[in-house]
Each structure stands twice: as structure tokens, then as C-alpha cells.
């Protein structure tokens, strides 16, 4: 979903809460500072493709779970896989 000011909204906070992980644990596992992860959650910044893949692996979810309203065949269409379905 895109909010009123055109920012792509995410479900990272909800998925993290659902999984029960601490932000510091996730940040360490994907190789970023806690502040970077917090900025992704608050939609001030967006993760790069490689960090997004790592984040989805750590959280054991698809990219589509993190960014549900991303249109297919866009930036998130990694290696020809659609809907955030990446074979690991």
C-alpha cells in the first residue's frame, strides 16, 4: 500500500512482532545497525535487495509478507521470481 505522501508501506514491524525477535538480533543476523532496521520499519529508508532477501530469510517469510502491495515485475522481482517467492 502507498500512503498519502507516496511512501511504500511495509509490514516489517508486524512480522517482527509476530516472530518474537528482538530488533538487535535481526539487525546482527542481516549485517546492519539497529538504526538502519528501525528506519526500514518507520519507512524512512528502504532495504537494498540483498538486505531484503536476508531479512526475509531471518524472519522466515516471503518478501511479499514484508511488502504486500508491491506490484509484480518491479524492483522486487529478483532473478525472475514473482510475488517475493525466491528459491533459497
Confidence of residue 70 (pLDDT cuts 50, 70, 90): low
- To 5 degrees, how large is the angle CA 45–CA 81–CA 50? 35
Least Cα distance to 51 among 73, 67, 72 occurs for 67
Q: Which domains does the chain have, with CATH numbers?
A: 12-80 (1.10.260.40)
> What pTM did the predictor assign?
0.70
Q: pLDDT digits over 7-49, tens only?
A: 567 889 999 999 999 999 999 999 999 999 999 998 888 898 8
Amino acid at each position: 500500500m502507498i500512503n498519502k505522501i507516496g511512501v511504500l508501506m511495509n509490514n516489517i514491524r508486524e512480522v517482527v512482532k509476530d516472530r518474537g525477535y528482538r530488533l538487535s538480533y535481526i539487525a546482527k543476523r542481516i549485517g546492519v545497525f539497529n538504526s538502519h532496521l528501525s528506519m526500514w520499519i518507520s519507512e524512512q529508508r528502504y532495504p537494498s535487495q540483498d538486505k531484503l532477501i536476508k531479512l526475509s530469510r531471518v524472519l522466515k517469510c516471503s518478501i511479499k509478507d514484508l511488502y504486500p502491495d508491491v506490484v509484480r515485475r518491479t524492483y522486487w522481482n529478483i532473478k525472475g521470481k514473482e510475488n517475493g517467492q525466491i528459491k533459497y
